[in-house]
């Protein structure tokens, strides 16, 4: 794994560089805010310190909510294509959560935790009954 990983949004207006290592924490969150902000069952993120993350191109548009914890969470997304990219929060000063799917190569990401299992949607499970196709039909 290269310690320097690049990434960005779908349209390319947002580009970033992250410095990662084997200890870079990654996890899933299934809180209702993450579901709503991504339209998906869960968010998979990597936690980086401010020193490990640099926004190289573009400016994220942000939206701040007060989470169930009472702490403010700010989600950053591309103002052009809407891709959710990064989150920060009062509860984790100096840290940025980067959406794992934003990386150009996310094969090194190893989620070790899952938050908000209590609100996991049943439809988010990857059951053995799914008809699996290698690409779009």
Contact residues for Zn ion, defined by CB under 5 A: 9, 11, 13, 29, 31, 34, 78, 80-81
d(CA 16, CA 96): 12
Query: Is 111 within 8 Å of 98 (Cβ atoms)?
Result: no
Least distance to Zn ion, CB of residue 13, Å: 4
Our CB check for Zn ion shows the closer of 3 and 63 to be: 63
Kindly state the smallest distance separating residue 90's Cβ from Zn ion, in Å.
Answer: 14
- Closer to Zn ion by CB, 24 or 58: give it: 58
The CB-of-131 to Zn ion minimum distance in angstroms stands at 29
Query: Nearer Cβ to Zn ion, position 9 or 20?
Result: 9
Count other Cβ atoms within 10 Å, centred on residue 133: 7
Q: Which one, of 105, 110, 111, lies nearest residue 2 by Cα?
A: 105
Q: What is the DSSP letter of 107?
A: T
8 Å CB contact between 77 and 69: no
Provide the Cα torsion 47, 50, 53, 56; round to 10°. 140
Question: Nearer to Zn ion by C-beta: 3 or 12?
Answer: 12
Nearer to Zn ion, 1 or 81 (CB): 81
Rounded CA separation 38/132 (Å) = 23
Q: Least distance to Zn ion from the beta carbon of 72, Å?
A: 13
**Least Å distance between CB 29 and Zn ion?**
3
């Amino acid at each position: 794994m290269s310690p320097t990983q690049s990434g960005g949004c779908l349209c390319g207006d947002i580009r970033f560089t992250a410095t990662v290592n084997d200890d870079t924490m990654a996890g899933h969150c299934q809180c209702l805010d993450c579901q709503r902000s991504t339209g998906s069952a869960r968010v998979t993120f990597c936690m980086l310190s401010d020193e490990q993350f640099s926004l190289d191109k573009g400016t994220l548009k942000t939206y701040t909510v007060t989470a169930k914890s009472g702490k403010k969470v700010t989600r950053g997304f591309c103002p052009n294509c809407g891709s959710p990219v990064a989150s920060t929060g009062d509860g984790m000063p100096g840290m940025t959560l980067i959406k794992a799917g934003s990386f150009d190569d996310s094969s090194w990401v190893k989620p070790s935790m899952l938050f908000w299992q209590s609100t996991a949607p049943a439809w988010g499970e990857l059951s053995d009954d799914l008809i699996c196709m290698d690409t779009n039909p």
